[in-house]
């Protein structure tokens, strides 16, 4: 007999489905976020160093708001999503 779910605070369920990030667009989205951060840093004359080490976390929201319209659409969409998620969580 399986106990009722209401008796548990945490349930771990294995669906049997696997997710493969290699075949998804995950890496492309990550690169678009990095490109957005790199571009915003360059526009604002911030230190941007190596492409592999930059993230949107390094970009002040004020810089994003000021320069967002200079970004190509895919980069802008990724950055908007990033900053709106940060705002939503806070």
58's tokens: 């390094």
Is 30 inside any structural domain?
Answer: yes
* pTM for the full predicted model: 0.73
Summarize pLDDT for 7-38 with one digit per residue, the tens: 667 778 888 877 776 777 888 999 999 999 99
Contact at 8 Å (CB) between 37 and 55? yes
Tell me the pLDDT tens digit for each residue of 39-60.
Answer: 999 999 998 888 888 999 999 9
User: How many folded domains does the chain comprise?
Assistant: 1
Token match 């004020």: residue? Answer: 62
- Residue 29, domain member (yes or no): yes
Q: Is 15 part of any domain? A: no
The boundaries of the domain holding residue 41 are 25-89
Q: What residues have CB less than 8 Å from 39, skipping those under 6 apart?
A: 67, 70, 71, 75
């Amino acid at each position: 007999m399986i106990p009722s779910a209401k008796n548990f605070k945490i349930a771990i369920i294995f669906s049997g489905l696997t997710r493969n990030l290699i075949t998804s667009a995950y890496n492309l989205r990550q690169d678009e976020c990095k490109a957005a951060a790199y571009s915003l840093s360059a526009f604002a004359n911030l230190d941007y160093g190596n492409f592999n080490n930059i993230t949107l976390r390094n970009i002040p929201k004020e810089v994003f708001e000021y320069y967002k319209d200079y970004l190509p659409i895919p980069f802008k969409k990724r950055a908007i999503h990033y900053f709106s998620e940060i705002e939503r969580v806070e």
